[in-house]
Structure 1
């Protein structure tokens, strides 16, 4: 394996490393956000259940969309990053013919569910909102299991999300257009530690 100029990890080297590691059963999920490599903890059962619940809600709201739990995206300024959100909501045919790291064009919403690891704060609450806003993804939904709250980021301006609405579990919140779903967060109380 080679490293880029002056010892920096390049996008190409990162992608090669991610492919190699993905072959192992218990490998972490690798990302390359804001020019820095990172790893996401493997999801636990409650994490998976939250994504299943949200997938059903999205299908019910619009059967022409799908919440993919496996699609990687090229994100960030000038596409110098890769992220594997916990969920990517897009029309059914959006990723056909694309590879592991797809263009974010057509993505309606990305979803992250916090993990109980030390990088969650930096990764899900700071770096990813900025990268997703820079990419122009209309809605970023953060389901924060540590704080027992939901944050809906919308109206990206190319640098950040101008609108952020935070509600505690148990309240309803609007996932604005182009998603257009009223989300009742009461069931999330069942899937926290």
Structure 2
């Protein structure tokens, strides 16, 4: 028997219908569609939400013309056939208005993921999403990894991967390069891990 791994499980339009129905019927259930596969995104815990709050405050203080949109669905991958729901999308304030549940990626300066304590984190946040976001041309991908207590900044997308990847431990400062242009002091992140 031959297994077809290059075919998607469903069409993008079918995924959007399933995701919309599931969101109405089951509170907190969030789906993503990456590499043609349906995935379930873990519901964030309190520390996860606090990290997004911390990052939102930093972004507001450093770049008040931008907004960190939490849980915004975004079209990703080469032909926009993927659908991701990053923990944050940094874009000019108001840039995503009127686009619906799955926005076009062009206004995004950065996407943010905070790892959850689930079995899919390694494949999803550390491998699939960096590739999907780089294929889409999103300038910066920020991964706040609570499992490893590290922050990884991906930048310089070349259409298939990020050419620059910098990882620092929690407690060390890290630069979010242009077009973001913010320096993060990550000491506080140590308080929000298990």
Q: Same fold (TM over 0.5)?
A: yes
How much has 1:35 moved relative to structure 2?
1.2
Distance 1:24 1:92 in 2: 31
Give yes or no for contact 1:21–1:27 (8 Å, CA) kept in 2.
no
Structure 2 counterpart of 1:3: none
- Cα drift, residue 26 of structure 1: 3.3
SS in 2 for 1:94: coil
Q: RMSD of aligned C-alpha atoms? A: 1.2
- The alpha-carbon deviation at position 123 of structure 1 amounts to 0.1
**Aligned equivalent of 2:39:** 38
Whole-Å Cα distance in 1 between the matches of residues 91 and 177 of structure 2?
14
Partner residue of 1:103?
A: 104
Aligned equivalent of 1:174: 175
Aligned to 1:161: 162
Matched ranges for 1:85-100 at <5 A = 85-100=86-101
Asked whether the equivalents of residues 58 and 66 of structure 1 are also in contact (C-alpha less than 8 Å), the reply is: yes
Q: In the alignment, is the contact (CA less than 8 A) between 2:8 and 2:35 conserved in 1?
A: no
Aligned to 1:118: 119
Distance 1:82 1:7, change over 3 A: closer
Aligned equivalent of 2:3: none
The Cα offsets for residues 78-124 of structure 1, whole Å up to 9 and x where unpaired, read as 11100000000000121111010000011000000000000000000
Task: Kindly report structure 1 stretches of 4+ aligned residues shifted beyond 2 Å.
Answer: 24-28
SS at the partner of 1:22? helix
Q: What SS does the corresponding residue of 1:77 show, helix, strand or coil?
A: coil
Paired with 1:25 and 1:15, the residues of 2 have a C-alpha distance of 15
Kept after mapping to 1: 8 A contact 2:8/2:37 = no
Q: Which runs of 5+ in 1 are unaligned?
A: 1-5
TM-score calculated relative to the size of structure 2: 0.94
CA distance in 1, matches of 2:125, 2:89: 15
TM-score, length basis structure 1: 0.95
Any unmatched runs of 5+ in structure 2? Answer: 1-6
For the residues of structure 1 that align with 2:115 and 2:17, how far apart are their CA atoms?
26
CA distance in 1, matches of 2:61, 2:179: 15
Residue 130 of structure 1 aligns with which residue? 131
Q: Which residue of 1 aligns with 2:10?
A: 9
